[in-house]
């Protein structure tokens, strides 16, 4: 069994990660949420030499949200595709 040293982040990096996590769950669309997760990945890679990818960051976000509970906003509902919205608007204007 390999015993790993826990990740020790500077305070400002930890606070930045929490800010990015809040922004991730408040993101209006999945593309913006992925961009925020990528930014968090970049921040963590500066202090962690192991293998880390975007899905790992999303898992960290979920684990931290579970640990902090109601202190963080819940994820925003995913909007419907813009194509359907435009199609619906066309039908309404024709009627």
Taking the alpha carbons at both ends of the chain, their separation in whole angstroms is: 68
34 neighbors 54 (Cβ within 8 angstroms): yes
Phi, then psi, of 75 in degrees rounded to 5 = -60, 145
73 neighbors 26 (Cβ within 8 angstroms): yes
Residue 55 has a pLDDT of 92
Residue 14 has a pLDDT of 83
pTM (2 decimals)?
A: 0.64
Mean pLDDT by 10 residues, the chain (95 residues): 69 86 90 94 87 90 80 54 55 59
Residue 66 has a pLDDT of 84
Residue 93 has a pLDDT of 61
């Amino acid at each position: 069994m390999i015993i790993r040293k826990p990740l020790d982040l500077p305070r400002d990096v930890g606070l930045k990660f929490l800010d990015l996590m809040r922004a991730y769950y408040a993101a209006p669309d999945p593309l913006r949420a992925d961009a925020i997760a990528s930014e968090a990945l970049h921040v963590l890679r500066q202090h962690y030499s192991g293998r880390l990818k975007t899905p790992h960051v999303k898992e960290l976000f979920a684990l931290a949200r579970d640990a902090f509970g109601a202190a963080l906003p819940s994820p925003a509902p995913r909007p419907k595709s813009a194509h359907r919205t435009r199609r619906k608007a066309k039908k309404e204007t024709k009627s």
